Structures are given as structure tokens and as C-alpha cells.
């Protein structure tokens, strides 16, 4: 009888232990929170799946949140408190990162905790946000959030290899890379044209025994033309003014503490 009871208790305990992680997952907020309804249900499912997959693989919570507006707090401060209040973060240090959008004033905030302080250096954060901000500014929200997820994964790979992105190893952004290739192509074309002009000019010079005269001095007799009066008259002028386009600036940020007193780092800005 005792053996049957002990076996039953063992089964109950084992079943309870198996169900505990499921209960914790059920109680935790989803890693994509959309209080505004930016994405379609299909986009929400695909994005959440990507965030969950990367978060579980790296044991580093990757979160995206969209709210209507901020309160008195700066976007990154609002973001880190939102992260903590919704139970995100792996381990005692709450390892993770959050991207938060506030749609009323088009604010964005990035905040990272725990291991994220090593992964996302101050220099790396400026490069990091340029990987998804262009699409945010174009209202391509789903693509921007996916770019954010892939960028976090790239940063985690670099950090896990012992070489987090910093001032010495920041690669070119896609826009900078495109500009570099275009500039290189233009320079190559100009150099090719200059070489072609020089070569053809030499060939042309070898085919003529009579040189072209740029002036008509040979056809003018001395003192055959005398100007009785010379006068310079100002006729008109044309002024064209163009408003200089204001360059959109990236956000600003650095280290700070959450409302609970945890060390954090991140950036705030407009998109």
C-alpha cells in the first residue's frame, strides 16, 4: 500500500514540475505587445515567433512594445520600466533588450539590462539603431521590427564570440555601404572617361598637320577697328534660394538606472 502511495506522489510531483514552466510561460506577457494595432494578426504571429525563438536560444529576452503615448518619462526610461513590470528578462540580472514605440509623438526608446550592457556598447548602440530606424521612419513597421530582431541576434553572436560591437569594429550601415559603392562607381567612370579623352586626343593630334587656332588674330589687320566708347552696363541678376533640408538625427542616450535601481543602457529619439 505504501509503495503505491509513494509511486502516486512521485507521479504527481513529476507532473507538477513539468507543468510549472508551462504555467510560467502562460503568465508571462508576449514578447511583442501592440496596444495600438500596428500589425496584422499574421504579422504579429510571425514576429512573435521570431522574438521567442531568438530569446529562448540565446537566453536573452528580445521584446518589442508599441504604446499610444508616454508619461512624464523619457522613452528609454519608460521602456526599461515597462520591461521590468511585465516580467521580462532572463536570470537574476534580467538579461534582455526592449524596443518601445510611442505613436502619439513618434518616440522610440531602447533599453537593455544585464548581459545586454556588455552586448550593446555605447558606440554599438548608435550603429544598432540605424539598422531598423530607416524603415520605422517610412512606417514599414513589420520590416523594421524584423530588422531589429535580426540585429539583436547579430550583436549577441558578436558578444558571445568575445568581440561586441564597439568603436573599433563598427561595420558600414546598408545606407553607408550603398553610398560607398555608388561613389566608387562614379569615380571609376570619371577616371575611365579621362583616360579615354587623353588617349583619343593624342591619336587625333597625330592625324593633323595644321593646328586649330583658338583666336582670330591672323585675320585681323592692326588698327582696323577702333572703339570710340566703352561702357559696361549691368542688366539684371537672378537669385535662386533653396531651403536646406533638415537632417534627421539619431537618438541620444547612455547609461541610466531603472525605477527599481537596476543599471541599464539605451537610447531615446524620434522616428
The answer to pTM > 0.75 is no
What contacts 102, CB < 8 A, 6 or more positions away?
Answer: 67, 68, 69, 70, 75, 78, 108, 109
265 is a domain residue? yes
46 is a domain residue? yes
User: Tens-of-pLDDT digits for all 271 residues of the chain?
Assistant: 444 444 444 443 444 434 434 444 445 789 999 999 999 999 999 999 999 999 999 999 999 999 999 999 999 999 999 999 999 999 999 999 999 999 999 999 999 999 999 999 999 999 999 999 999 999 999 999 999 999 999 999 999 999 999 877 787 555 544 443 333 334 444 454 555 566 555 666 566 655 666 666 666 666 666 666 666 666 666 665 665 544 445 567 789 999 999 999 999 999 9
Give the three-state DSSP class for 152.
helix
Domain CATH number, residue 107: 3.10.310.50
153 is a domain residue? yes
Number of domains making up the chain: 1
Expressed as residue numbers, the domain containing 112 is 31-174+254-270
23 is a domain residue? no
225 is a domain residue? no
CA angle 215, 219, 224 (to 5 degrees): 110
114 is a domain residue? yes
11 is a domain residue? no
Contact 96, 88 (CB under 8 A): yes
203 is a domain residue? no
Amino acid at each position: 500500500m505504501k509503495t503505491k502511495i509513494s509511486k502516486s506522489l512521485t507521479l504527481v510531483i513529476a507532473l507538477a514540475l513539468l507543468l510549472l514552466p508551462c504555467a510560467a510561460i502562460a503568465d508571462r506577457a508576449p514578447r511583442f505587445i501592440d496596444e495600438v494595432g500596428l500589425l496584422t494578426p499574421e504579422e504579429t504571429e510571425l514576429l512573435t515567433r521570431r522574438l521567442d525563438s531568438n530569446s529562448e536560444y540565446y537566453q536573452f529576452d528580445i521584446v518589442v512594445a508599441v504604446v499610444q503615448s508616454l508619461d512624464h518619462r523619457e522613452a528609454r526610461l519608460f521602456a526599461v520600466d515597462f520591461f521590468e513590470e511585465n516580467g521580462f528578462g532572463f536570470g537574476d540580472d534580467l538579461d534582455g533588450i526592449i524596443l518601445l514605440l510611442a505613436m502619439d509623438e513618434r518616440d522610440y526608446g531602447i533599453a537593455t539590462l544585464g548581459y545586454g550592457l556588455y552586448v550593446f556598447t555605447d558606440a554599438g548602440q548608435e550603429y544598432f539603431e540605424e539598422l531598423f530606424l530607416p524603415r520605422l521612419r517610412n512606417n514599414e513597421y513589420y520590416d523594421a521590427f524584423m530588422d531589429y530582431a535580426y540585429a539583436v541576434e547579430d550583436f549577441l553572436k558578436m558578444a558571445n564570440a568575445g568581440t561586441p560591437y564597439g568603436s573599433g569594429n563598427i561595420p558600414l550601415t546598408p545606407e553607408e555601404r550603398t553610398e560607398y559603392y555608388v561613389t566608387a562607381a562614379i569615380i571609376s567612370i570619371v577616371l575611365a572617361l579621362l583616360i579615354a579623352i587623353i588617349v583619343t586626343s593624342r591619336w587625333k593630334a597625330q592625324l593633323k598637320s595644321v593646328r586649330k587656332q583658338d583666336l582670330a588674330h591672323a585675320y585681323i589687320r592692326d588698327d582696323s577697328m577702333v572703339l570710340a566708347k566703352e561702357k559696361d552696363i549691368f542688366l539684371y541678376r537672378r537669385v535662386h534660394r533653396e531651403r536646406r533640408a533638415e537632417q534627421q538625427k539619431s537618438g541620444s542616450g547612455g547609461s541610466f538606472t531603472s525605477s527599481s535601481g537596476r543599471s541599464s543602457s539605451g537610447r531615446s529619439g524620434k522616428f
